[in-house]
Copies of this chain bind each other. A is one copy, B any other.
Amino acid sequence: MIEKLIEKIAEKNCPVVVGLDPMLSYIPDFIRNAAYEKHGKTLEGAAEAVLEYNKKILDATADLIPAIKPQIAMYEQFGIPGLKAYIETVKMAHEKGLIVIGDIKRGDIGSTSAAYATAHIGKMKIEDVETPVFDEDIVTVNPYLGIDGVKPFVDVCKANDRGIFVLVKTSNPSSVDFQDKVIVSEKGNRRLFEEVALKVEEWGAEVRHGNYSDVGAVTGATWPKAGEELRALMPHTFFLVPGYGAQGGKGEDLAGFFDKDGAGAIVNSSRGIICAYKSEAYAKYGAENFADASRQAVLDMKEDLVSHIGK
Protein backbone atom coordinates (compact mmCIF):
# COMPACT_ATOMS: atom_id res chain seq x y z
CA MET A 1 0.00 0.00 0.00
CA ILE A 2 2.83 2.46 0.77
CA GLU A 3 4.07 1.69 -2.78
CA LYS A 4 0.69 2.84 -4.11
CA LEU A 5 0.93 5.98 -2.00
CA ILE A 6 4.40 6.69 -3.43
CA GLU A 7 3.09 6.21 -6.99
CA LYS A 8 0.19 8.56 -6.37
CA ILE A 9 2.49 11.21 -4.90
CA ALA A 10 4.73 10.96 -7.99
CA GLU A 11 1.78 11.04 -10.38
CA LYS A 12 0.47 14.29 -8.87
CA ASN A 13 3.94 15.60 -7.99
CA CYS A 14 2.46 16.51 -4.63
CA PRO A 15 3.74 15.08 -1.31
CA VAL A 16 0.83 16.70 0.52
CA VAL A 17 -1.81 14.94 2.60
CA VAL A 18 -4.80 16.99 3.67
CA GLY A 19 -5.70 16.47 7.32
CA LEU A 20 -9.50 16.38 7.38
CA ASP A 21 -9.76 17.18 11.09
CA PRO A 22 -12.77 19.47 11.24
CA MET A 23 -13.38 21.39 14.45
CA LEU A 24 -16.87 22.92 14.60
CA SER A 25 -15.24 26.35 14.87
CA TYR A 26 -13.61 25.86 11.44
CA ILE A 27 -16.91 25.32 9.65
CA PRO A 28 -18.53 28.44 8.14
CA ASP A 29 -21.79 29.60 9.73
CA PHE A 30 -23.90 28.95 6.65
CA ILE A 31 -23.02 25.23 6.69
CA ARG A 32 -23.46 24.83 10.45
CA ASN A 33 -26.76 26.69 10.53
CA ALA A 34 -28.20 24.67 7.65
CA ALA A 35 -27.31 21.45 9.48
CA TYR A 36 -28.76 22.71 12.80
CA GLU A 37 -31.99 23.68 11.05
CA LYS A 38 -32.42 20.07 9.97
CA HIS A 39 -31.19 18.30 13.11
CA GLY A 40 -30.95 20.89 15.89
CA LYS A 41 -27.75 21.50 17.82
CA THR A 42 -27.28 17.77 18.22
CA LEU A 43 -24.57 15.24 17.44
CA GLU A 44 -26.45 14.57 14.18
CA GLY A 45 -26.42 18.27 13.34
CA ALA A 46 -22.71 18.62 14.04
CA ALA A 47 -21.91 15.47 12.06
CA GLU A 48 -23.88 16.67 9.06
CA ALA A 49 -22.05 20.01 9.10
CA VAL A 50 -18.71 18.17 9.22
CA LEU A 51 -19.63 15.93 6.31
CA GLU A 52 -20.83 18.82 4.14
CA TYR A 53 -17.63 20.75 4.92
CA ASN A 54 -15.47 17.72 4.06
CA LYS A 55 -17.37 17.15 0.82
CA LYS A 56 -16.72 20.69 -0.40
CA ILE A 57 -13.01 20.53 0.51
CA LEU A 58 -12.64 17.15 -1.21
CA ASP A 59 -14.41 18.45 -4.33
CA ALA A 60 -12.02 21.41 -4.46
CA THR A 61 -8.74 19.58 -3.77
CA ALA A 62 -9.02 15.89 -4.78
CA ASP A 63 -7.43 16.35 -8.23
CA LEU A 64 -4.31 17.87 -6.64
CA ILE A 65 -3.59 15.48 -3.80
CA PRO A 66 -2.70 11.80 -3.34
CA ALA A 67 -4.31 11.26 0.05
CA ILE A 68 -6.33 12.54 2.97
CA LYS A 69 -5.75 11.96 6.67
CA PRO A 70 -8.93 12.20 8.73
CA GLN A 71 -8.26 12.40 12.48
CA ILE A 72 -10.84 10.03 13.97
CA ALA A 73 -11.01 11.92 17.31
CA MET A 74 -12.67 14.82 15.51
CA TYR A 75 -15.46 12.44 14.47
CA GLU A 76 -15.55 10.27 17.59
CA GLN A 77 -16.31 13.44 19.58
CA PHE A 78 -19.72 13.47 17.85
CA GLY A 79 -20.44 9.86 18.83
CA ILE A 80 -22.30 7.53 16.47
CA PRO A 81 -23.33 10.29 14.00
CA GLY A 82 -19.73 11.52 13.96
CA LEU A 83 -18.33 8.07 13.24
CA LYS A 84 -20.89 7.62 10.45
CA ALA A 85 -19.53 10.88 8.97
CA TYR A 86 -16.01 9.44 9.29
CA ILE A 87 -16.98 6.32 7.35
CA GLU A 88 -18.74 8.47 4.73
CA THR A 89 -15.62 10.64 4.40
CA VAL A 90 -13.48 7.52 3.81
CA LYS A 91 -15.94 6.44 1.10
CA MET A 92 -16.03 9.84 -0.61
CA ALA A 93 -12.23 9.94 -0.72
CA HIS A 94 -12.06 6.43 -2.18
CA GLU A 95 -14.60 7.37 -4.85
CA LYS A 96 -12.23 10.16 -5.85
CA GLY A 97 -9.31 7.73 -6.06
CA LEU A 98 -7.55 9.03 -2.95
CA ILE A 99 -5.65 7.00 -0.38
CA VAL A 100 -7.04 7.32 3.14
CA ILE A 101 -4.70 7.49 6.12
CA GLY A 102 -6.87 7.03 9.22
CA ASP A 103 -5.21 8.91 12.07
CA ILE A 104 -6.47 6.60 14.79
CA LYS A 105 -3.33 6.13 16.95
CA ARG A 106 -4.67 2.81 18.26
CA GLY A 107 -2.45 0.30 20.02
CA ASP A 108 -3.21 -2.44 22.54
CA ILE A 109 -2.16 -5.99 23.31
CA GLY A 110 -2.52 -9.12 21.14
CA SER A 111 -6.13 -9.93 20.32
CA THR A 112 -7.22 -6.37 21.08
CA SER A 113 -4.79 -4.85 18.58
CA ALA A 114 -5.96 -7.51 16.14
CA ALA A 115 -9.55 -6.30 16.61
CA TYR A 116 -8.52 -2.69 15.85
CA ALA A 117 -6.47 -3.80 12.84
CA THR A 118 -9.32 -5.88 11.47
CA ALA A 119 -11.83 -3.07 11.95
CA HIS A 120 -9.72 -0.42 10.28
CA ILE A 121 -7.56 -2.04 7.60
CA GLY A 122 -8.87 -5.59 7.39
CA LYS A 123 -12.16 -7.36 7.03
CA MET A 124 -14.25 -8.44 10.00
CA LYS A 125 -15.20 -12.09 9.87
CA ILE A 126 -18.65 -12.84 11.24
CA GLU A 127 -18.78 -16.63 11.11
CA ASP A 128 -18.12 -17.30 7.40
CA VAL A 129 -18.97 -13.80 6.11
CA GLU A 130 -16.28 -11.11 5.71
CA THR A 131 -17.23 -7.43 5.97
CA PRO A 132 -15.03 -4.34 5.70
CA VAL A 133 -15.74 -1.95 8.58
CA PHE A 134 -13.95 1.43 8.66
CA ASP A 135 -11.94 0.50 5.58
CA GLU A 136 -9.03 2.96 5.64
CA ASP A 137 -5.92 2.13 3.56
CA ILE A 138 -3.34 3.03 6.19
CA VAL A 139 -3.66 3.84 9.92
CA THR A 140 -1.43 5.30 12.60
CA VAL A 141 -0.38 3.05 15.50
CA ASN A 142 1.02 3.78 18.98
CA PRO A 143 4.11 1.69 19.88
CA TYR A 144 4.15 2.01 23.71
CA LEU A 145 3.03 -1.62 24.21
CA GLY A 146 5.84 -3.06 22.04
CA ILE A 147 5.69 -5.60 19.24
CA ASP A 148 2.64 -7.44 20.71
CA GLY A 149 0.63 -4.33 19.96
CA VAL A 150 2.05 -3.73 16.48
CA LYS A 151 2.42 -7.24 15.02
CA PRO A 152 -1.35 -7.80 14.58
CA PHE A 153 -1.43 -4.65 12.44
CA VAL A 154 1.55 -5.87 10.38
CA ASP A 155 -0.19 -9.22 9.82
CA VAL A 156 -3.34 -7.49 8.60
CA CYS A 157 -1.23 -5.21 6.35
CA LYS A 158 0.34 -8.29 4.80
CA ALA A 159 -2.96 -10.11 4.23
CA ASN A 160 -4.80 -7.10 2.80
CA ASP A 161 -2.08 -4.95 1.17
CA ARG A 162 -2.52 -2.11 3.63
CA GLY A 163 -0.08 0.03 5.62
CA ILE A 164 0.57 1.57 9.03
CA PHE A 165 2.51 4.54 10.33
CA VAL A 166 3.95 3.91 13.80
CA LEU A 167 4.42 6.95 16.06
CA VAL A 168 8.17 7.53 16.39
CA LYS A 169 8.78 11.23 17.07
CA THR A 170 5.55 13.20 17.33
CA SER A 171 5.24 16.90 16.44
CA ASN A 172 4.03 18.21 19.80
CA PRO A 173 6.36 20.07 22.23
CA SER A 174 5.99 17.46 25.01
CA SER A 175 7.05 14.62 22.72
CA VAL A 176 10.37 15.26 24.53
CA ASP A 177 8.83 14.04 27.84
CA PHE A 178 9.46 10.38 27.03
CA GLN A 179 10.44 10.07 23.34
CA ASP A 180 13.69 12.02 23.82
CA LYS A 181 14.85 10.22 26.96
CA VAL A 182 18.31 8.70 26.52
CA ILE A 183 18.34 4.94 26.82
CA VAL A 184 21.25 2.81 27.97
CA SER A 185 22.21 0.35 25.23
CA GLU A 186 25.13 -1.97 24.61
CA LYS A 187 25.52 -0.43 21.17
CA GLY A 188 25.82 3.08 22.58
CA ASN A 189 23.18 5.22 24.25
CA ARG A 190 20.34 6.51 22.12
CA ARG A 191 17.03 8.26 22.56
CA LEU A 192 13.79 6.31 22.97
CA PHE A 193 12.48 7.50 19.60
CA GLU A 194 15.62 6.11 17.92
CA GLU A 195 15.06 2.80 19.72
CA VAL A 196 11.47 2.78 18.43
CA ALA A 197 12.76 3.76 14.96
CA LEU A 198 15.10 0.77 14.79
CA LYS A 199 12.25 -1.54 15.80
CA VAL A 200 9.94 -0.03 13.17
CA GLU A 201 12.58 -0.57 10.48
CA GLU A 202 12.89 -4.20 11.67
CA TRP A 203 9.11 -4.80 11.91
CA GLY A 204 8.70 -3.60 8.32
CA ALA A 205 11.17 -6.10 6.83
CA GLU A 206 8.50 -8.69 6.04
CA VAL A 207 6.24 -6.23 4.21
CA ARG A 208 8.82 -4.49 2.04
CA HIS A 209 7.94 -3.84 -1.59
CA GLY A 210 10.59 -1.91 -3.52
CA ASN A 211 12.61 0.45 -1.35
CA TYR A 212 9.97 1.07 1.31
CA SER A 213 7.97 -1.19 3.58
CA ASP A 214 4.29 -1.02 4.53
CA VAL A 215 5.33 -0.11 8.07
CA GLY A 216 5.98 3.64 8.00
CA ALA A 217 6.79 6.11 10.76
CA VAL A 218 5.28 9.34 12.07
CA THR A 219 8.02 11.98 12.43
CA GLY A 220 6.95 15.52 13.25
CA ALA A 221 7.84 18.45 10.94
CA THR A 222 8.59 20.49 14.04
CA TRP A 223 11.79 18.44 14.66
CA PRO A 224 13.81 18.82 11.43
CA LYS A 225 17.08 17.56 12.92
CA ALA A 226 15.40 14.40 14.22
CA GLY A 227 13.79 13.96 10.79
CA GLU A 228 17.17 14.01 9.09
CA GLU A 229 18.65 11.58 11.62
CA LEU A 230 15.69 9.24 11.27
CA ARG A 231 15.92 9.30 7.47
CA ALA A 232 19.48 7.91 7.81
CA LEU A 233 18.48 5.42 10.53
CA MET A 234 15.43 4.07 8.68
CA PRO A 235 16.30 3.73 4.99
CA HIS A 236 13.27 1.51 4.21
CA THR A 237 10.69 3.41 6.23
CA PHE A 238 8.36 5.93 4.63
CA PHE A 239 7.49 8.98 6.75
CA LEU A 240 4.20 10.63 7.56
CA VAL A 241 5.19 14.15 8.61
CA PRO A 242 2.60 16.12 10.61
CA GLY A 243 3.12 19.60 12.04
CA TYR A 244 3.54 21.64 8.84
CA GLY A 245 2.06 25.14 8.83
CA ALA A 246 -0.04 25.91 11.89
CA GLN A 247 2.33 23.93 14.16
CA GLY A 248 5.40 25.67 12.72
CA GLY A 249 6.98 23.33 10.13
CA LYS A 250 8.19 24.96 6.86
CA GLY A 251 9.23 23.50 3.49
CA GLU A 252 12.82 24.65 3.87
CA ASP A 253 13.15 22.63 7.09
CA LEU A 254 11.74 19.44 5.61
CA ALA A 255 14.25 18.46 2.91
CA GLY A 256 15.96 16.10 5.33
CA PHE A 257 12.80 13.97 5.78
CA PHE A 258 12.91 13.02 2.08
CA ASP A 259 15.35 10.74 0.28
CA LYS A 260 17.75 11.82 -2.49
CA ASP A 261 15.08 11.16 -5.11
CA GLY A 262 12.65 13.49 -3.38
CA ALA A 263 10.54 10.55 -2.18
CA GLY A 264 10.30 8.93 1.24
CA ALA A 265 7.81 11.22 2.95
CA ILE A 266 4.38 12.79 2.79
CA VAL A 267 3.64 15.98 4.71
CA ASN A 268 0.32 16.63 6.43
CA SER A 269 -1.39 19.94 6.92
CA SER A 270 -4.78 20.16 8.58
CA ARG A 271 -5.80 23.61 9.84
CA GLY A 272 -3.52 25.39 7.33
CA ILE A 273 -5.52 23.89 4.48
CA ILE A 274 -9.03 23.14 5.67
CA CYS A 275 -9.27 26.39 7.61
CA ALA A 276 -7.20 28.49 5.17
CA TYR A 277 -10.06 31.00 4.61
CA LYS A 278 -9.67 32.15 8.23
CA SER A 279 -6.00 33.12 7.79
CA GLU A 280 -4.85 36.50 6.51
CA ALA A 281 -3.18 35.03 3.42
CA TYR A 282 -6.47 33.64 2.08
CA ALA A 283 -8.99 35.99 3.68
CA LYS A 284 -9.92 37.43 0.28
CA TYR A 285 -11.82 34.22 -0.56
CA GLY A 286 -14.31 34.77 2.24
CA ALA A 287 -16.24 32.12 4.16
CA GLU A 288 -18.55 31.40 1.20
CA ASN A 289 -15.57 30.27 -0.90
CA PHE A 290 -13.69 28.46 1.85
CA ALA A 291 -13.03 25.45 -0.38
CA ASP A 292 -11.32 27.62 -3.03
CA ALA A 293 -9.09 28.98 -0.29
CA SER A 294 -8.24 25.36 0.66
CA ARG A 295 -7.38 24.60 -2.98
CA GLN A 296 -5.01 27.57 -3.16
CA ALA A 297 -3.44 26.56 0.17
CA VAL A 298 -2.74 23.07 -1.23
CA LEU A 299 -1.12 24.60 -4.34
CA ASP A 300 1.06 26.90 -2.21
CA MET A 301 2.09 24.09 0.14
CA LYS A 302 2.94 21.84 -2.81
CA GLU A 303 5.12 24.62 -4.29
CA ASP A 304 6.81 25.19 -0.93
CA LEU A 305 7.64 21.49 -0.58
CA VAL A 306 8.53 20.64 -4.18
CA SER A 307 10.95 23.59 -4.39
CA HIS A 308 12.89 22.30 -1.39
CA ILE A 309 13.03 18.51 -1.70
CA GLY A 310 15.26 16.12 -3.64
CA LYS A 311 17.92 18.79 -4.04
A64 within 8 A of partner (CB) = no
Stretch at the interface among A111-119, A204-212, A231-239: A111-119
Q: Mark A166-177, 1 if CB is under 8 A from B, else 0.
A: 010011111111
Interface membership of A124, Cβ < 8 A: yes
Counted per complex, copies of this chain come to 2
Closest B residue to A127 using CB positions: B41
Question: Distance (Å) between the CB of A78 and the closest chain B CB?
Answer: 7
- Find chain B residues with CB under 8 A from A36 CB: 127
User: How far is A205 from B46 in the complex, measured between Cα atoms in Å?
Assistant: 35
A43 within 8 A of B: yes
Surface stretch bound by B, among A91-99, A101-109, A283-291, A295-303: A101-109
CA of A280 to CA of B143, assembled, Å: 36
Interface positions of A (Cβ within 8 A of B): 21, 23-24, 32, 36, 40-43, 45-46, 71, 73-74, 76-80, 83-84, 87, 105-113, 115-116, 118-119, 124, 126-129, 131, 133-134, 142-149, 167, 170-179, 181-184, 189, 192, 195-196, 199
A sample of 9 cross-chain residue pairs with beta-carbon separation below 8 angstroms, ordered by A number, consists of A23-B111, A36-B127, A41-B126, A43-B133, A76-B116, A146-B178, A148-B173, A182-B183, A183-B184
